Amino acid sequence: MKVEFENVTKKFDNAVVVDNLNLKIKSGELMVLLGPSGCGKTTTLRMLAGLETPTAGNIFIGDNKVNDLEPKDRNVAMVFQHYALYPHMSIYDNLAFPLIAQKKPEEEIRKRVREVAGICRVENFLHRKPKQLSGGEQQRVALGRAIIKNPNVFLMDEPLSNIDAKLRMEMRADLARLHQKLKSTTVYVTHDQVEAMTLGKRIAVMKSGGLQQVGTPKEIFNRPANLFVAGFVGAPPMNMFEGSLTEKNDKMMIDVGEFSYRISEELYNLVKKQCTTSEVILGIRPENISIVNKKSGTVLARVDVLQSIGSDIYVYLRMGKKSIITRVDTSKIFTIGEKVWLKFNEKRFCIFDKRTEKIIV
Amino acid sequence: MFKNKKRILSKQYLPYLLLLPALVFLITILIYPTLYVVDLSFFKWDLLAGTPKTFIGLGNYQAMMQSSRFFGAFSRSLYFTVLSVSISFLIGFGLANLLHKGIRGKSLFTTILIVPMVVAPIIIGLAFKFMYNPDFGVINYFLNIFGIPSQPFLGDPNLALNAIILTDIWQWTPFMILVLLAGLESLPSEPFEAAKIDGASRWLVFRRITLPLMKPVILIAILIRSMDAFREFDKIFIMTGGGPGLSSETLSLLVWRSSFSWFHMGFAAAMGLFMLVVIMVISWVLIKFMGGRER
Amino acid sequence: MKHMSKICTYGILVIFSITSLFPPVWIALTSIKPPVEMFAMPPCWVFTPTLQGYEQVLLNSEFPRFLLNSVIIVTSTVLLTLLIGSLAGYALARFRIKYKENLFFFVLTSRMGPAVVFGIPFFLLWLGLGLIDSYVGMILVYIFFNLAFCIWMMRGFFEEVPAELEEAALVDGFSRFEAFRKITLPLVASGLIATATFIFILTWNEFFYSMILTNYAAKTFTVQLPAFFGAQRILWENVTAASTIGMLPPLLFAILIRKYIVRGLTFGMVKK
H, E, C per residue of chain B = CHHHHHHHHHHHHHHHHHHHHHHHHHHHHHHHHHHHHHHHCCEECECCCCCCCEECCCHHHHHHHHCHHHHHHHHHHHHHHHHHHHHHHHHHHHHHHHHHCCCCCHHHHHHHHHHHHHCCHHHHHHHHHHHHCCCCCHHHHHHHHCCCCCCCHHHCCCCHHHHHHHHHHHHHHHHHHHHHHHHHHCCCCHHHHHHHHHCCCHHHHHHHHHHHHHHHHHHHHHHHHHHHHHCCCHHHHHHCCCCCCCCCCCHHHHHHHHHHCCCEHHHHHHHHHHHHHHHHHHHHHHHHHHHHHCC
A277 vs C171: which has the higher pLDDT = C171
Q: What is the pLDDT of residue A360?
A: 62
CB-CB under 8 Å, B7 with A68? yes
Which of residues A182, A212, A232 is at a domain's end? A232
Residue C249 banded pLDDT, cuts 50, 70, 90: very high
Number of structural domains chain A divides into: 2
3-state SS, one letter per residue, for C160-173: CCCHHHHHHHHHHC
Tell me, yes or no, whether A168 and A95 share the same domain.
yes
> Which of C16, C117, C225 lies closest to B95 in CB terms?
C16
Tell me, yes or no, whether A216 and A310 share the same domain.
no
Architecture of domain B54-293: Orthogonal Bundle (1.10)
CA C204 from centre of chain: 5
Domain-by-domain residue ranges, chain B? Answer: 54-293
Judged against a pLDDT cut of 50, whether residue B294 lies above it is answered with no
Q: Is there a contact between A151 and A183 (Cβ–Cβ < 8 Å)? A: no
Is residue A361 in some structural domain? Answer: no
Tell me, yes or no, whether A60 and A179 share the same domain.
yes
Q: Is there a contact between A34 and A207 (Cβ–Cβ < 8 Å)? A: no
* CB < 8 Å from C in window 146-175 of B: 170, 174-175
Residues of B in contact with C240 (CB under 8 A): 130
Q: What domains can be seen in chain C, in order of their start residue?
A: 57-265 (1.10.3720.10)
Of B272, B78, B22, C206, the C-alpha closest to B280 is B272
Tell me, yes or no, whether A220 and A250 share the same domain.
no
Please indicate if any CB of chain B lies within 8 Å of the CB of A13.
Answer: no
Please indicate if any CB of chain C lies within 8 Å of the CB of B87.
Answer: no
CB-CB under 8 Å, C272 with B233? no
Residue C232 banded pLDDT, cuts 50, 70, 90: low
CB-CB under 8 Å, C171 with A51? yes
CB pairs B-C closer than 8 Å: 264
> How far is B34 from chain A, CA to nearest CA, in Å?
35
Structural domain span for residue A289:
239-353
Tell me, yes or no, whether A50 and A112 share the same domain.
yes
CB-CB under 8 Å, A76 with C170? no
Tell me, yes or no, whether A259 and A228 share the same domain.
no
Tell me, yes or no, whether A119 and A226 share the same domain.
yes
Cis check: omega of the bond before C42, within 30 degrees of 0? yes
pLDDT tens string B222-277: 988 999 999 999 999 998 988 788 888 999 999 999 888 888 888 888 898 899 88
The vertex-A22 CA angle with A21 and A23, nearest 5°, equals: 115
Q: What is the pLDDT of residue B288?
A: 78
**Burial zone of A326 (CB within 10 Å; 0-12 exposed, 13-18 middle, 19+ buried):** buried
Amino acid identity for residue B90 in this structure: L
CB-CB under 8 Å, B11 with A68? no
Tell me, yes or no, whether A221 and A265 share the same domain.
no
- Per-10-residue mean pLDDT, chain A, length 361: 87 86 89 88 90 89 86 88 87 89 88 89 88 88 89 90 84 85 89 86 89 88 84 83 70 62 70 73 81 72 81 80 76 78 76 68 58
CA B284 from centre of chain: 15
Residues of B in contact with C166 (CB under 8 A): none
Q: How many CB atoms lie within 10 A of CB C71?
A: 14
> Which of C171, C175, C183 lies closest to A77 in CB terms?
C171
Q: Is there a contact between B243 and B225 (Cβ–Cβ < 8 Å)? A: no
**Distance (Å, whole) CA B217 – CA B223:** 10
CB-CB under 8 Å, B4 with A68? yes
Quote the crossing angle between the two packed helices B121-132 and C2-31, to the nearest 10°: 90
> How far is B1 from chain A, CA to nearest CA, in Å?
11
Is residue A168 in some structural domain? Answer: yes
> Checking DSSP bridges between strand A289-292 and strand A339-344, what pairing results, if any?
antiparallel
> How far is A78 from chain B, CA to nearest CA, in Å?
21
CB-CB under 8 Å, A53 with B11? yes
Alpha-carbon distances, residue C199 vs A270, A280, C81, C206 (angstroms): 78, 71, 8, 11
Q: How many CB atoms lie within 10 A of CB C199?
A: 27
Is residue A358 in some structural domain? Answer: no
CA A358 from centre of chain: 19
Q: What is the pLDDT of residue B1?
A: 41
CB-CB under 8 Å, B7 with A53? no
Task: Name which of C120, C204, C240 to mutate to probe chain B: the one with the most chain B Cβ atoms within 10 A of its Cβ.
Answer: C120
* Numbered residues of chain C with Cβ closer than 8 Å to any chain A Cβ: 162, 164-165, 167-175, 178, 183, 186-187
Q: What is the pLDDT of residue A356?
A: 64
Tell me, yes or no, whether A79 and A210 share the same domain.
yes
Q: Is there a contact between A297 and A343 (Cβ–Cβ < 8 Å)? A: yes
In total, chain B counts a number of residues equal to: 295
Closest B-chain CA to C258? B111
- In chain B, what percentage of residues exceed pLDDT 90? 29
* CB < 8 Å from C in window 150-169 of A: 155
Alpha-carbon distances, residue B132 vs A62, B141, B142, B240, C14 (angstroms): 83, 10, 11, 11, 23
- Strand runs labelled E in chain A: 3-12, 15-25, 30-34, 56-61, 64-65, 76-79, 153-157, 185-190, 202-207, 210-215, 239-248, 251-255, 260-263, 279-284, 289-292, 299-308, 312-319, 322-329, 339-344, 350-353
Q: Which residues contact C202 (CB under 8 A, 6 or more apart)?
A: C145, C146
**Distance (Å, whole) CA C269 – CA C263:** 7
C105 vs C182: which has the higher pLDDT = C182
Task: Name which of C161, C171, C175 to mutate to probe chain A: the one with the most chain A Cβ atoms within 10 A of its Cβ.
Answer: C171
CATH of the domain at A280: 2.40.50.140
Q: Which residues of C102-131 are buried (b: 16+ CB within 10 A; e: fewer)?
A: ebbbbbbbbbbbbbbbbbbbbbbbbeeeeb
Tell me, yes or no, whether A71 and A164 share the same domain.
yes
Closest B-chain CA to A66? B4
Q: What is the pLDDT of residue A121?
A: 86
Task: Give me Rg for the CA atoms of chain A.
Answer: 25
CB-CB under 8 Å, C175 with A84? no
Q: Is there a contact between C43 and C56 (Cβ–Cβ < 8 Å)? A: no
> How far is B234 from chain C, CA to nearest CA, in Å?
7
> Which of C116, C255, C262 lies closest to B255 in CB terms?
C116
Chains near C with 3+ CB pairs less than 8 A apart are A, B
- In chain C, what percentage of residues exceed pLDDT 90? 26
Chains near B with 3+ CB pairs less than 8 A apart are A, C
Please indicate if any CB of chain B lies within 8 Å of the CB of C24.
Answer: yes
Q: Which residues contact B23 (CB under 8 A, 6 or more apart)?
A: C88
Q: How many CB atoms lie within 10 A of CB B293?
A: 8
> How far is C182 from chain A, CA to nearest CA, in Å?
10
C25 vs B287: which has the higher pLDDT = C25
Q: Which residues contact B241 (CB under 8 A, 6 or more apart)?
A: B253
pLDDT tens string C47-94: 777 887 788 788 877 888 899 999 999 999 999 999 988 888 888 888
Q: Which residues contact C114 (CB under 8 A, 6 or more apart)?
A: B230, B231, B233, B252, B255, B272, B275, B276, B279
Judged against a pLDDT cut of 50, whether residue B295 lies above it is answered with no
Tell me, yes or no, whether A21 and A134 share the same domain.
yes
**Distance (Å, whole) CA A361 – CA A270:** 8
* Numbered residues of chain B with Cβ closer than 8 Å to any chain A Cβ: 4, 7-8, 11
Tell me, yes or no, whether A263 and A220 share the same domain.
no
Termini Cα distance of chain B: 45
CB-CB under 8 Å, A101 with C162? no
> Which of A84, A88, A102 lies closest to C186 in CB terms?
A88
CATH of the domain at A183: 3.40.50.300
Reported as type and span, the H/E element at residue A94 is helix A91-101
Termini Cα distance of chain A: 35
CB-CB under 8 Å, C162 with A84? yes
Instruction: Supply φ then ψ for residue A238, to 5 degrees.
Output: -60, 140
Chains near A with 3+ CB pairs less than 8 A apart are B, C
